[in-house]
């Protein structure tokens, strides 16, 4: 299969050109020395040209001697050099930013890697922004991401296994975990799924996660994709397994429980009581977001008896002019909110904000004035939409928003019974989910009271000395909590 | 058929969950109307009946565990085969399955009737049955892990309902209980007997026992679960007797649900609507666990495949639930079921235990 490097200079140049489909970007430079001819190849924009000139061309032409392969490898001041014999290898390396040096008549070609990677600098996190705490986010470059992870977790415990994903357009992925913590079964499951994956290409980690997740039919994400290095590293130190994929600005972590999707690293950076309060707030917001609109629809369509008399009057007044049944009314407004969200996400930032205000205020006001909806429904819908945005994970927030629509329809069809049916279905559905084969509803089911601290609420760090049982880490103790509680400072008397 | 079961590692669960399994399978359709039923037999001394009945529950659970512990890892279907022979084993096993089918049917039908009376008079039976059976099938497809999980989570989601009883509690008239011990001992025993429909389901222990991880710790959660069931029935009945006048209580079919009527919060005026709807979550563990017993039993007895059996059973329950409307009264069916259940659950284990002991003595005698 592999084509040998031809010994004649002209055939070599011709063959390589063919390999590159006559691309004008393949630069070929011949250097005529006293006793021999060298041919240098590189792809114009893939290499750092100034380095090529300074560290390669200069020594090559400046030396008054003839070069052998060994000389090239040893005497040229560049870190990575290797010699290959097949044209395919040379082509492959050239694409990835190497410079090849061919000595006429020698079957070995020496390659120097001088890749010029276009990448953006480390930026502030956009989708998972924190109020305080570390601000940087991952970028699209694998090397940069690995660099950041190594920098945060500078221990020899850190394992980074290389796995190539994709047949046609291969991307390099790294399976990352802490050797002394991560449960072997979890690591094996993740590794197995990555290795067994047969696809032509994977665009991004979010695509990758959809390929390897336990269940594809559910709306709930089972692995977290995050752009925050601190969140990624925190997960690893708890004993989770991570995946970093080249060309993707987010990384993948698992196994995850449903409750992890409501956790933000900010909970840790705040004091424990604030953290707990905010966590509770998020859970409450989720329940509210799912239940509020369906309850409104159910109560107004079938069970107006459950609304207290004082509230019923104002509700009746505001709904008096509305010509639709509540379910249509609610769906209309929910659609409006979803349109606003989607439009805001698609439009350029400056226009988006204005559009949000125009759409939200003007449309909402006009809808009420025109008698399309009731004032109270606007409050209800705005509350539940707002609540759904409190989820730290964008995927989970979207899942919550999607669940609402069937629930509204069921509430419109069978009232409270419909809501209960939907909720029961939801609970059973969640019970059936798994993340990397681990139960999704942990630590509620299977019940593990010790894991409540960390999954459902936070206590002081001194008390939180254990890693969660859910992940079955090899070392459960983070530190000795007795010692952590000792205070040996001087007391003023 | 093997007498003992081999259980794979992932299929078993901790004994701790037995508490929820035993409790949630007992509490269901029966609790909605139990005060009236016992009151009709034992009058204002219904609480004595419940206490007696509760004691008997613990006794039967003790006997059940004694039976199960005689074997290595067997359920009642296997034990029957071993004790009474192949033919009788099949007959008794089939009787058990028919009984479970009946109780599954009555639970679904009773709940549908409650929904029709309290919320939607017009809701078609087939629609509600379809919804409930859909949930059952969906849950059972997840295997025993999901079944046990459903019983656990739905317990957590509904147990708070019992706290709302404080409101009617404050309106109780203690005079309704006087004079104490008015009922004759026979009436009190009858009261304990009619309680049986509300506490049926503890036979799940005889089916699910092989799947428990730590069998040594099984007794405590079972007895606690039974204790909670007895307590809830006692609470509901006592409050009902105190809250309703005797005449009212005789006329109130679902006294427990009627108690919810006076509860109101600042945002919710009529709580009984929510309670009746929420009762679906009380019913689901029932349906799911009985459904599991049926499918599992069919598999054990007749080697029936899981999925076809599951769909077949769901279809059969659906057809039966729709047909009952025309052919048979739900109350008649419930009565029959509770009678069969009474003998099967509260008498039959004694016979099994005695037979087991006799055989043990006989074998001992022979070997000596």
For A457, the 3-state DSSP assignment is strand
Look-up of token digits 């026992």: B209
pLDDT tens column, B142-182: 999 999 999 999 999 999 998 988 888 899 888 888 888 88
> Does B38 touch chain A if contact means CB atoms closer than 8 Å?
no
In angstroms, what is the C-alpha Rg of chain A?
Answer: 30
Out of A420, A423, A428, name the one closest to residue B150 (CB). A428
Does the pLDDT of residue B328 top 80, yes or no? no
* Residues of A in Cβ contact (< 8 Å) with B270: 303, 305-306
Q: Chain A residue closest to B13 (CA)?
A: A446
Which one has a higher pLDDT value, A80 or A306?
A306
Can you give the pLDDT at residue A493?
63
Residue B17 distance to chain A (closest CA, Å) = 9
> Does B144 touch chain A if contact means CB atoms closer than 8 Å?
no
Contact B153 A416 (CB under 8 A): no
Contact A431 B142 (CB under 8 A): yes
Asked if B101 contacts B313 with a C-beta cutoff of 8 angstroms, the reply is yes
* Residues of A in Cβ contact (< 8 Å) with B9: none
Contact A303 B131 (CB under 8 A): no
Contact A305 B14 (CB under 8 A): no
> Does B159 touch chain A if contact means CB atoms closer than 8 Å?
no
Q: How confident is the model at residue A433 (pLDDT cuts 50, 70, 90)?
A: very high
> Does B152 touch chain A if contact means CB atoms closer than 8 Å?
yes
Q: How confident is the model at residue B327 (pLDDT cuts 50, 70, 90)?
A: low
Out of A307, A415, A423, name the one closest to residue B119 (CB). A415
Q: What is the 3-state secondary structure (H, E, C) of chain B?
A: CCCECCCCHHHCECHHHHHHHHHHHHCCHHHHHHHHHHHHHHHHHHHHHHHHHHHHHHHHHHHHHHHHHCCCCECHHHHHHHHHHHHHHHHHHHHHHHHHHHHHHHHHHHHHHHHHHHCCCCCCHHHHHHHHHHHHHHHHCCCHHHHHHHHHHHHHHHHHHHHHHHHHHHCCCHHHHCCCCCCCHHHHHHHHHHCHHHHCCCCHHHHHHHHECCHHHCHHHHHHHHHHHHHHHHHHHHHHHHHCCHHHHHHCCCHHHHHHHHCCCCCCCCHHHHHHHHHHHHHHHHHHHHHHHHHHHHHHHHCCCHHHHHHHHHHHHHHHHHHHHHHCCHHHHHHHHHHHHHHHHHHHHHHHHHHHHHHHHHHHHHHC
Contact A424 B154 (CB under 8 A): yes
* Residues of B in Cβ contact (< 8 Å) with A432: 141-142, 146
Look-up of token digits 């400072």: A489
Can you give the pLDDT at residue A475?
87
Cis status of the peptide bond prior to A255, with omega within 30 of 0: yes
Contact A428 B269 (CB under 8 A): no
Q: What is the average pLDDT across B350-359?
A: 92
- Secondary element (H or E) of residue A420: helix A394-432
Residue B185 distance to chain A (closest CA, Å) = 43
Task: State both tokens at B6.
Answer: 């081999």
Residue from A171, A147, A173, A172 nearest A158 by CA: A147
Residue B356 distance to chain A (closest CA, Å) = 36
* Residues of A in Cβ contact (< 8 Å) with B146: 428, 431-432
* Residues of A in Cβ contact (< 8 Å) with B115: 417
Which stretch of A199-208, A432-441, B322-331 has the lowest confidence by average pLDDT?
B322-331
Contact B269 A441 (CB under 8 A): no
% of chain A exceeding 90 in pLDDT: 34
* Residues of B in Cβ contact (< 8 Å) with A428: 135, 138-139, 142, 146, 150, 284
As to burial, measured by CB atoms within 10 angstroms (0-12 exposed, 13-18 middle, 19+ buried), residue A8 is exposed
Asked if B115 contacts B274 with a C-beta cutoff of 8 angstroms, the reply is no
Q: Chain B residue closest to A411 (CA)?
A: B277
Can you give the pLDDT at residue B64?
93
* Residues of A in Cβ contact (< 8 Å) with B264: 308
Does the pLDDT of residue A1 top 60, yes or no? no
Contact B138 A303 (CB under 8 A): no
Contacts 24+ apart (CB under 8 A), A307-311: A307/B268, A307/B269, A308/B264, A308/B266, A308/B267, A308/B268, A308/B269, A309/B269, A311/B267
Residue B270 distance to chain A (closest CA, Å) = 4
Q: Chain A residue closest to B153 (CA)?
A: A445
Cis status of the peptide bond prior to B292, with omega within 30 of 0: no
pTM of the shown model: 0.91
- The end-to-end CA distance of chain B, in Å, is 31
- Secondary element (H or E) of residue A161: strand A158-165
Provide the phi-psi class of A105: left if phi over 0, else alpha when psi is between -120 and 50, else beta. left
Question: For residues A456 and A468, what is the distance between their CA atoms, to the nearest angstrom?
Answer: 12
Residues forming a β-bridge with A178: A158
Contact B273 A424 (CB under 8 A): no
Q: How confident is the model at residue A67 (pLDDT cuts 50, 70, 90)?
A: confident
Contact B139 A428 (CB under 8 A): yes
Out of A302, A308, A444, name the one closest to residue B153 (CB). A444
Out of B13, B115, B149, name the one closest to residue A417 (CB). B115
Does the pLDDT of residue A47 top 70, yes or no? yes
pLDDT tens column, B276-326: 999 999 999 999 999 999 999 999 999 989 999 999 999 999 999 988 876
Q: Please count the residues of chain A.
A: 493
Residues forming a β-bridge with A101: A40, A110
Measured at the CA of B282, the angle between CA B278 and CA B283, to 5 degrees, comes to 110
- Secondary element (H or E) of residue A164: strand A158-165
Which one has a higher pLDDT value, A12 or B287?
B287
* Residues of B in Cβ contact (< 8 Å) with A446: 13-14, 149
> Does B236 touch chain A if contact means CB atoms closer than 8 Å?
no
Contact B135 A421 (CB under 8 A): yes
Question: For residues A462 and A480, what is the distance between their CA atoms, to the nearest angstrom?
Answer: 9
Interface test with B, best of A218, A417, A469 (most B CBs within 10 A): A417
Q: How confident is the model at residue A412 (pLDDT cuts 50, 70, 90)?
A: very high
Task: State both tokens at A103.
Answer: 């000595």
Can you give the pLDDT at residue B6?
84
Asked if A171 contacts A246 with a C-beta cutoff of 8 angstroms, the reply is yes
Can you give the pLDDT at residue A352?
75
Q: What is the average pLDDT across A275-282?
A: 92
Question: For residues A395 and A226, what is the distance between their CA atoms, to the nearest angstrom?
Answer: 10
Does the pLDDT of residue A284 top 90, yes or no? yes
* Residues of B in Cβ contact (< 8 Å) with A309: 269
In angstroms, what is the C-alpha Rg of chain B?
Answer: 21
Could you say which DSSP state residue A155 is in? Answer: S
Can you give the pLDDT at residue B295?
94
* Residues of B in Cβ contact (< 8 Å) with A423: 281
Could you say which DSSP state residue A86 is in? Answer: B
Residue B2 distance to chain A (closest CA, Å) = 30
Residue from B298, B238, B207 nearest B22 by CA: B207
Asked if B112 contacts B276 with a C-beta cutoff of 8 angstroms, the reply is no
Question: For residues A465 and A454, what is the distance between their CA atoms, to the nearest angstrom?
Answer: 10
Beta-carbon pairs below 8 A across chains A and B: 91
> Does B269 touch chain A if contact means CB atoms closer than 8 Å?
yes
Asked if A103 contacts A69 with a C-beta cutoff of 8 angstroms, the reply is yes
Question: For residues B45 and B180, what is the distance between their CA atoms, to the nearest angstrom?
Answer: 7
Asked if B193 contacts B263 with a C-beta cutoff of 8 angstroms, the reply is no
CA B51 vs CA A57, B31, B61, B226, B263: distances in Å = 99, 15, 15, 12, 27
Interface subset of B 245-264, CB within 8 angstroms of A: 264
ipTM over 0.90: yes
Interface test with B, best of A295, A429, A431 (most B CBs within 10 A): A431
Which stretch of A407-416, A433-442, B5-14 has the lowest confidence by average pLDDT?
B5-14
Does the pLDDT of residue A118 top 80, yes or no? no
DSSP per position, A190-251:
HHHHHHH---S----HHHHHHHHSS-SSSSS-SSEEE--HHHHHHHHHHT-EEEEETT-S-E
How many other CB atoms are there within 10 angstroms of residue B3's CB atom?
17
- The end-to-end CA distance of chain A, in Å, is 85
Measured at the CA of A131, the angle between CA A125 and CA A134, to 5 degrees, comes to 55
Question: For residues B138 and A53, what is the distance between their CA atoms, to the nearest angstrom?
Answer: 68
Residue B209 distance to chain A (closest CA, Å) = 18
Under an 8 Å CB criterion, which residues of A touch B? 302-303, 305-309, 311, 414-417, 419-421, 423-425, 427-429, 431-432, 439, 441, 444-447
Asked if A115 contacts A46 with a C-beta cutoff of 8 angstroms, the reply is yes
Mean of per-residue pLDDT scores for chain A? 87
Q: Which residues contact A66 (CB under 8 A, 6 or more apart)?
A: A33, A34, A35, A36
Interface test with B, best of A420, A430, A450, A452 (most B CBs within 10 A): A420
* Residues of A in Cβ contact (< 8 Å) with B157: 427
Cis status of the peptide bond prior to A443, with omega within 30 of 0: yes
């Amino acid at each position: 299969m592999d084509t040998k490097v031809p010994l004649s200079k002209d055939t070599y140049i011709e063959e390589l050109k063919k390999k590159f489909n006559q691309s004008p970007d393949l630069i070929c430079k011949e250097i005529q020395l006293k006793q021999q001819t060298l041919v240098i190849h590189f792809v114009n924009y893939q290499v750092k040209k100034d380095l090529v000139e300074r560290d390669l061309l200069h020594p090559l032409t400046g030396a008054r001697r003839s070069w052998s392969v060994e000389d090239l490898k040893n005497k040229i001041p560049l870190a990575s050099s290797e010699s290959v014999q097949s044209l395919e290898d040379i082509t492959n390396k050239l694409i990835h930013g190497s410079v090849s040096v061919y000595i006429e008549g020698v079957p070995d070609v020496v390659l120097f890697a001088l890749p010029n990677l276009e990448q953006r600098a480390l930026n502030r996190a956009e989708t998972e922004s924190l109020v305080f705490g570390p601000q940087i986010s991952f970028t699209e470059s694998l090397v940069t991401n690995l660099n950041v992870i190594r920098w945060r977790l500078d221990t020899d415990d850190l394992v980074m296994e290389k796995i190539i994903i994709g047949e046609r357009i291969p991307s390099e992925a790294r399976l990352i975990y802490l050797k002394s913590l991560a449960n072997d079964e979890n690591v094996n499951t993740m590794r197995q799924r990555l290795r067994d994956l047969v696809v032509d290409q994977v665009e991004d980690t979010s695509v990758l996660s959809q390929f390897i997740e336990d269940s594809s039919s559910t709306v709930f994400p089972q692995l977290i994709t995050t752009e925050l290095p601190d969140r990624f590293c925190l997960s690893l130190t708890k004993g989770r397994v991570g995946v970093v994929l080249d060309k993707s600005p987010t990384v993948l972590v698992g196994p995850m429980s449903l409750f992890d999707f409501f956790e933000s690293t900010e909970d840790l950076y705040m004091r424990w009581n604030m953290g707990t309060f905010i966590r509770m707030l998020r859970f409450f917001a989720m329940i509210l977001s799912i239940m509020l609109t369906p309850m409104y629809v159910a109560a107004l369509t079938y069970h107006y008896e459950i609304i207290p008399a004082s509230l019923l009057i104002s509700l009746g007044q505001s709904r008096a002019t509305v010509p639709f049944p509540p379910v249509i009314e609610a769906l209309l407004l929910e659609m409006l909110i979803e349109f606003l969200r989607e439009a805001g996400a698609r439009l350029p930032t400056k226009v988006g904000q204005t559009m949000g205000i125009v759409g939200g205020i003007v449309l909402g006001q006009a809808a009420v004035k025109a008698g399309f909806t009731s004032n109270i429904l606007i409050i209800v819908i705005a509350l539940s939409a707002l609540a759904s945005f409190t989820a730290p994970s964008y995927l989970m927030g979207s899942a919550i928003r999607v669940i609402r629509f069937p629930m509204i329809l069921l509430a419109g069809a069978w009232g409270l019974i419909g809501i209960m049916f939907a909720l029961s279905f939801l609970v059973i559905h969640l019970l059936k989910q798994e993340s990397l084969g681990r139960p999704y509803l942990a630590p509620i089911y299977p019940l593990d009271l010790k894991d409540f601290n960390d999954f459902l609420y936070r206590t002081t760090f001194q008390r939180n000395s254990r890693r969660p049982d859910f992940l079955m880490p090899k070392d459960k103790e983070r530190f000795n909590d007795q010692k952590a509680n000792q205070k040996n400072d001087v007391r003023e008397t | 058929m093997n007498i003992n079961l081999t259980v794979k590692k992932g299929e078993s669960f901790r004994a701790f969950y037995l508490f929820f399994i035993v409790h949630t399978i007992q509490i269901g359709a029966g609790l909605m109307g139990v005060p009236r039923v016992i009151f009709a037999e034992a009058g204002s001394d219904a609480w004595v009946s419940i206490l007696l009945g509760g004691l008997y529950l613990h006794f039967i659970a003790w006997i059940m565990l004694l039976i199960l512990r005689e074997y290595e890892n067997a359920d009642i279907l296997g034990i029957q085969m071993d004790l009474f022979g192949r033919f009788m084993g099949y007959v008794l096993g089939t009787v058990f399955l028919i009984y479970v089918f009946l109780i599954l049917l009555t639970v679904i039908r009773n709940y549908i009737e409650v929904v029709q009376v309290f919320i939607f008079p017009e809701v078609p039976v087939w629609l509600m049955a379809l919804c409930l059976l859909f949930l059952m099938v969906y849950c059972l497809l997840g295997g025993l892990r999901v079944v046990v999980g459903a019983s656990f989570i739905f317990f957590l989601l509904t147990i708070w309902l019992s706290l709302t009883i404080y409101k009617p509690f404050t309106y109780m008239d203690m005079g309704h209980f006087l004079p104490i011990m008015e009922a004759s001992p026979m009436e009190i025993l009858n009261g304990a007997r009619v309680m049986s429909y509300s506490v049926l389901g503890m036979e799940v222990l005889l089916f699910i026992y092989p799947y428990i991880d730590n069998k040594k710790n099984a007794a405590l959660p079972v007895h606690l679960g039974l204790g909670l069931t007895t307590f809830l029935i006692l609470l509901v009945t006592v409050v009902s007797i105190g809250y309703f006048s005797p005449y009212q209580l005789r006329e109130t079919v679902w006294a427990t649900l009627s108690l919810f009527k006076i509860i109101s919060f600042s945002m919710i005026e009529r709580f009984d609507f929510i309670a009746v709807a929420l009762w679906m979550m009380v019913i689901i563990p029932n349906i799911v666990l009985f459904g599991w017993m049926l499918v599992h039993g069919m598999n054990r007895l007749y080697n029936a495949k899981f999925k076809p059996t599951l769909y077949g059973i769901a279809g059969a329950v659906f057809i039966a639930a729709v047909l009952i409307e025309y052919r048979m009264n739900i109350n008649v069916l419930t009565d029959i079921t509770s009678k069969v259940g009474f003998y099967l659950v509260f008498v039959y284990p004694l016979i099994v235990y005695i037979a087991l002991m006799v055989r043990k003595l006989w074998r001992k005698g022979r070997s000596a």
